[in-house]
Amino acid sequence: MLLCCVVYNGSRASASVGADTAGTLAFGGFDRTYQLHVPAGLDPPAGLVINLHGAGMTGASQAAATNFNAVADRYGFVVVYPNGIDMSWADGRGASLPDRQGVDDVGFLAALIDRLSRDYDVPSGRVFATGMSAGAFMANRLACDRADIVAAIAPVAGTLGAGTRCTPSRPVSVLETHGTTDPVVPYAGGGMVGRGGPSDIEAAQAMVDGWRTVDGCPGAPVESVIGGAHRFTSSGCADGTEVVFVRVDGGEHVWPGDASQAGAQFFATHAR
């Protein structure tokens, strides 16, 4: 494994040799850091995945917890694990330190996407985002604000802050996974207390319904059951998008063992 610092010089980086690297991007008065995994032999890659950590975590711990590098290798994705300021995100709930300080995390992630897309020749319409807990809130906010650059998201155990403006410029495919007994991010929404303090959030079902409305999904979703998970699929939405809600009955505040595989497969089939 190669571990080094990435210094941006405006030239395209080679994706011919697999590597795990640590990078820095100056943005908004901060030196923002991230961990990057590039599978070997990508020319070009199948896409770029932004994988966002939960509160109190880091990009490195998110990589370890999700094992997303393994599925990225199988699907040919470059995957990046950014680090939030104070191990948190300005995800719109108003509870975190970066939210209270007015940190522009949407802008940071957009700048990071721009850099990596140029460095690795990521095809247009193949940028995706996933995340756990606060990272899921941030993935949703990114899609709400920058649907022009994000084709699909796969949030896990996170929704949106109550009253968060979500008027994306174009449809986005969504795969939401949420446990019904999540003790941290309540399935039914309302008040929650996270690392940064209390906030009010949308219920998982309400958030998914909001995306179905945004995407113009026709009719009722189709339900299927696998183990303890109920999968509600809305297909035929605008611009070929799809909204899928995986309700894990009895599921708590965890990243399910199959969430990385499910997310990668969803991304592979929902590029623009």
From first CA to last CA, the distance across the chain in angstroms is 33
DSSP state of 71: H
The alpha carbon of residue 111 and the mean position of all alpha carbons in its chain are separated, in whole angstroms, by: 15
- The pLDDT tens digits for 199-220 are 999 999 999 999 999 999 999 9
**Unique residue bearing structure tokens 């949308």:** 202
Q: Rounded mean pLDDT of 264-269? A: 98
Do the strands 47-52 and 127-132 form a parallel or antiparallel pair, or are they unpaired?
parallel
The answer on pLDDT for 197 being more than 90 is no
Looking at the domain that runs over 5-268, which CATH code has it been given?
Answer: 3.40.50.1820
Better-predicted residue by pLDDT, 10 or 215: 215
**Confidence at 181, pLDDT banded by 50, 70, 90:** very high
